[in-house]
Structure 1
Amino acid sequence: MSGQSVINENSIMEGLRRAFRSDGTASGDFTLRDPIPLGNGKTINGASSAEIREIVARLNSAKSKSESSFQWENEAEFSLVALDQIGAFDRFFEDKAFEGQGDNPVTFKVGKPSREFAAYLLCKFVENPALLTSPRTRMILNRMRQGIDRNALSYDPVAGDSLFDVIAGGLRATTLQITAAKSRADFEALANSFLFHAAYNTDAAARIGLETMFRPQAIQRVRRSQNGFFDAPRQTYDADLVHHYLMGVAAEIPLLEYLAYYHIAEHFFGKVFNEDLIDQVRSSITDPSFSARRDKDINSIIKIVTKIKGQIKDEGGMNEQRSLKLVLDKFVNIPRLVADLNAYDVSLVDHYANSDVPFAGASKVSLGANDEEAVRSAIAKRIYKVRNALVHAKEGELPKYAPFAHDEELAREIPLMRFAAEQIVIAQGKVL
């Protein structure tokens, strides 16, 4: 039930009021100010309280629920997110049904949401203040209102006679509806099977999940400048770092976003690692107790270098976690990092202090601790373990990141990596 909206008559009614800018009700029904004309000569005047109660009961009777799915005894519905930029999946599969065979045949249908799922999505973006005030939500609501306009070229006539059919069309969301002849408990496996089969045969890919427009974390971007206050840059930045940063900002998949920001820190691993080795040797030979005439003092230098070379050999390269920590030491200011996190989401600092990352085996980080050295070490450890979970996926190794299944957890780790990466980029800037 993680991420599930509260679904009741009040939440649906509030969604209808906001979507259609109407407060008109009669006997508990939702009444539109202006009836909606349909292509069949009928009109829709609103939604009855009986229909709303029926939808609520249907959604709450699901045996299994998640942020992006409802599953009943012999049917299920999953929200889908296309993984291409040109809508190939929706165009190929929209409103098509595919029937299976066997003793318990299964039917797969891709298209606009059911009335029930449309009502759920209405609750989803209505319940969160950040979604309600976002430009994207305003766009969704305007699109829905345009969709019911008889003169709107983009709107297809509603096949049914329910206001929730209008909502389903206006949201432009896509769902996969699966129906079985008998009761089943493996609908998610069936959904993933269909998505693999579709991608294998058509190169059109989609995944189970909510589109970004319904996910508050995805639209709560840090906006340091409002329109009218944006000014010209005062520094130039390293092109490689900028390209990694732009890839992260543009990425729709959390895994790619996280790794793009991580690559910014990784860019300096070799440099800081070598600098650290030089500093250790320099510190030893410039110490007043050091004498080039004493063999034991020369041996102490040799031990430092040998130890580092041994670590490199054992680990197949430099110690990346230590290198990450050195990068944080060199470029990242902890108070500024905390301030950026608080400006983005005031709950994140407490989240990092009180929650580990199960899919990565990463420990808690108390960003407000007085010992900044310890804080940077803890940050480096958490970031590095998350990175390892993303890039290593050997069978049987635990913990392990599961694509899409852990995206919600990973999304909460991205701000820590992003804001650290931003400071690294800015630290390399050259004044114009």
Structure 2
Amino acid sequence: MTPQEKHVAEITHEESIDALKKVLSIDAWTENHLILEKALNLDPQTQVSRLDIADLKEATRNLNEANRENPAQLKWNTRCEYLIVRNGSIGPMGILPQDLASSDEMGLKYSIGRPSLDFSLNLLLQAQDVSPSSRRAPYYIQSARRRLRERRVLGYVEPPPTESEVSLGIILGEVMPLMTLRIESTRPRAEFKETAEAFLFELAFNYDVSFRVATDIDHLSGVGRVRRRGRAADAAMDAPRMTYNSDLVHHYQLAVSAESPMLQYLSYYHIAEHFFEKVFNDDFVEQVRRKIADPAFSLKRSKDIQAVIRLVTSNQRRVRDEGGVDEQRALALVLESFVSIDRLLDDLRAHDPDLIDYYKTSSPSFSENVPVNLEGDRAADIKAALAKRVYQTRNSLVHAKDGARPKYFPFVDDAELSKEIPLLRFCAEQVIIAHGKVM
């Protein structure tokens, strides 16, 4: 099936103009121009109050010929444009190579830079029901609005003193906080993804600048990254009244600052893991103590002594088979000891209440099917299911052996993994607080 056969409903010229209104203050439009409500400063000498509409018409035609099912990608028979995301944000960007942008022997040309008008327009079209004043607009629209506001000329008299015809594509490219990879081919290609990833690999190999192809626009908005719910919005933050375990705090700080969802998840997991050996051993001691304290137990009956021996032997066997404590059991014990389901639900409702139903009905594709009904009646059952879900997700991240079991693919599965992070973060916070010491 060709990209043309797969494209979605055709876009009209009027729909394209409506999409632009999500970021531009358009006062009116004619056959040839868009008239801006407020002029824009492009530089100290150039002000713009009208934009040529010809490139908008061309972009609309291009989109109607493209495969645009995924807002992070545009594909035609002989070219494509992918949204790319930098891996990490530490250190300078460096200079991107110009001499590696083409490959004559393969008939391919690569370029990295600001999004084309086609790409920017498609994103604006994809943003559903976004009014010019909406605060719930996607972040790239909010960012574009803010950058355009900074360029507005205040109090000018129409027409501005100086004016230049400037490309709509250049303006949108400058204000959209995005970067794309474009590939052009001398012959039709069914797929560009492998060539895109090959180029980005060699870019990282040669220049230590790492990008990835975004599988969805959600990659840009930090999906799953838990932002504080404005706890200090109504009052200044109180001074601490407790001290906390330094090791746990460091893991927590690493998770909060990490760009990688995988690193976030494993850092929060380490907070619970810190107590695995203690809770597992304490639980085992308690089992032996209860066995001996049971009124049915007698030191004079050999079978009673043998039952205790079997309990100890069974526990030792599990430890040996696991290479340590039974981690899933230990995780369940940590949750049982230190996590309140009511508080977890309150945190999730404040962050994103839809996640509660998501956990009840869905599981990550790279893990076993382990739904968790956090609103169930039995706390013990909830925590057992929660421990299984968290533990299996963790295993998918750290075990990458090829085989029949589901496994996590870095970057590809990040959006799914990000939905699991709030669940584990709020549990980890309770573990830290439970071990805090009042000053």
TM-score between the two structures when normalised by the length of structure 1: 0.86
State how far apart, in whole Å, the 2-side matches of 1:369 and 1:193 are: 48
State how far apart, in whole Å, the 1-side matches of 2:213 and 2:62 are: 21
1:68-87 CA distance string (max 9 Å, x none)? 22222111111121224356
CA contact (8 A) 2:397 2:408 kept: yes
What secondary structure sits across from 1:394 in the alignment? Answer: coil
Show the counterpart of 1:156. none
TM-fit CA distance, 1:234? 1.7
Show the counterpart of 1:175. 180
Aligned pairs for 1:307-318 (under 5 A) are 307-318=314-325
Return the letter of the residue paired with 1:92.
Answer: I
Distance 1:139 1:174, change over 3 A: closer
Aligned pairs for 1:162-201 (under 5 A) are 162-201=167-206
State how far apart, in whole Å, the 1-side matches of 2:358 and 2:45 are: 54
What secondary structure sits across from 1:93 in the alignment? Answer: coil
Distance 1:107 1:303, change over 3 A: same
Whether 1:143 aligns to 2:147 is: yes
Show the counterpart of 1:154. none
Whether 1:333 aligns to 2:340 is: yes
State how far apart, in whole Å, the 1-side matches of 2:11 and 2:418 are: 24
Show the counterpart of 1:322. 329
1:145-178 CA distance string (max 9 Å, x none)? 436779xxxxxxxx98322321211224211111
State how far apart, in whole Å, the 1-side matches of 2:369 and 2:281 are: 27
Aligned pairs for 1:68-83 (under 5 A) are 68-83=72-87
Distance 1:351 1:122, change over 3 A: same
Distance 1:95 1:230, change over 3 A: farther
Distance 1:126 1:45, change over 3 A: farther
Distance 1:380 1:255, change over 3 A: same
Aligned pairs for 1:27-426 (under 5 A) are 30-36=34-40, 44-47=48-51, 51-52=55-56, 54-63=58-67, 65-86=69-90, 88-89=92-93, 91-93=94-96, 98-102=101-105, 104-123=106-125, 131-132=136-137, 140-146=144-150, 161-209=166-214, 210=217, 214=221, 217-218=224-225, 221-226=228-233, 228-426=235-433
- Give the count of matched residue pairs: 416
TM-fit CA distance, 1:191? 0.9
State how far apart, in whole Å, the 2-side matches of 1:130 and 1:266 are: 39
Distance 1:49 1:33, change over 3 A: same
Distance 1:256 1:98, change over 3 A: same
TM-fit CA distance, 1:131? 4.4
- The structure with higher relative contact order (CA 8 Å, sep 6+) is 2
Whether 1:19 aligns to 2:26 is: no
Show the counterpart of 2:158. none
What secondary structure sits across from 2:181 in the alignment? Answer: strand
State how far apart, in whole Å, the 2-side matches of 1:9 and 1:214 are: 29
CA contact (8 A) 1:130 1:216 kept: no
State how far apart, in whole Å, the 2-side matches of 1:37 and 1:96 are: 33
Distance 1:80 1:291, change over 3 A: same
1:254-290 CA distance string (max 9 Å, x none)? 1111111111111111011001100100111111111
CA contact (8 A) 1:14 1:126 kept: no
With 203-212 and 7-16 compared, the bigger mean Cα shift is at 7-16
With 224-233 and 330-339 compared, the bigger mean Cα shift is at 224-233
Q: Percent identity?
A: 36
State how far apart, in whole Å, the 1-side matches of 2:398 and 2:299 are: 46
Distance 1:67 1:139, change over 3 A: closer
Distance 1:114 1:149, change over 3 A: farther
State how far apart, in whole Å, the 1-side matches of 2:232 and 2:11 are: 36
TM-fit CA distance, 1:246? 1.0
1:162-217 CA distance string (max 9 Å, x none)? 22321211224211111111111231111110111011111111112258654565
State how far apart, in whole Å, the 1-side matches of 2:13 and 2:270 are: 47
CA contact (8 A) 2:51 2:165 kept: no
TM-fit CA distance, 1:367? 1.1
What secondary structure sits across from 1:369 in the alignment? Answer: coil
Distance 1:219 1:318, change over 3 A: closer
CA contact (8 A) 2:223 2:415 kept: no
Return the letter of the residue paired with 1:281.
Answer: V
With 273-282 and 24-33 compared, the bigger mean Cα shift is at 24-33
Q: Which runs of 5+ in 2 are unaligned?
A: 1-7, 155-163
Return the letter of the residue paired with 2:59.
Answer: I
State how far apart, in whole Å, the 1-side matches of 2:429 and 2:57 are: 49
Query: Could you say what the CA RMSD is over the residues aligned between the two structures, in angstroms?
Result: 3.2
State how far apart, in whole Å, the 2-side matches of 1:355 and 1:7 are: 34
Distance 1:215 1:422, change over 3 A: closer
TM-fit CA distance, 1:130? 6.1
CA contact (8 A) 2:319 2:325 kept: yes
State how far apart, in whole Å, the 2-side matches of 1:284 and 1:37 are: 80
TM-score between the two structures when normalised by the length of structure 2: 0.84
1:83-113 CA distance string (max 9 Å, x none)? 2435644x422777611133x4111101111
